Structure 1
Amino acid sequence: MKDAPVEIGAKDLNGNGGIFCPSPMAGMKIWNSHPRVFLDIAHGGGAAKCPYCGTVYQLRAGEHVGGGH
């Protein structure tokens, strides 16, 4: 687990408004890590915590997830 949150931009999110952990953006090696898990940043108030490793991913200050339709 990292002490500081991993800051991400809105452009880093997938089409569903989330990100997968483990992630190379967090400096993780995917081949020797926990199972891949989807973290819903858009519906989690701009941040989400991985249930496996505890890494927190959060939107950078001023970043916003675009609205759907």
Structure 2
Amino acid sequence: MTQAIVELLAKDLDGNGGVHCPNPKADMKLWNSHPRVFLEIAHQGHASCPYCGTEYRLKAGEVLKGGH
């Protein structure tokens, strides 16, 4: 099974430099969701969900502002 890859813009990250999964950008159906988990993206530019394996990463060329 191929895991989903979700490319994010800098504006998609919250004030802590991350996102939550499940995420609307991951196109996950309600019946197929899992508990909400925070994924920190700003430090390394990517993170994988421990529940579903969805890979979230910053789109190439995106620049984070504000100390991230």
Is the pair's TM-score, using the shorter chain for normalization, greater than 0.5?
A: yes
TM-score by length of 2: 0.85
- Work out whether residues 23 and 30 of structure 1, in 8 Å CA contact, stay in contact via their aligned partners in 2: no
The Cα RMSD (Å) is 1.8
- Cross-structure match for 1:46: 45
- Cross-structure match for 1:5: 5
Runs (4 or more) in structure 1 with deviation over 3 Å come to 1-4
Give unpaired runs (5+ residues) of structure 1: none
Q: Deviations over 1:6-59 (max 9, x none)?
A: 10100000000000000110101346410000000012x100000000000000
Identity %: 67
Give unpaired runs (5+ residues) of structure 2: none
2:47 is the counterpart of 1:28: no
TM-score by length of 1: 0.84
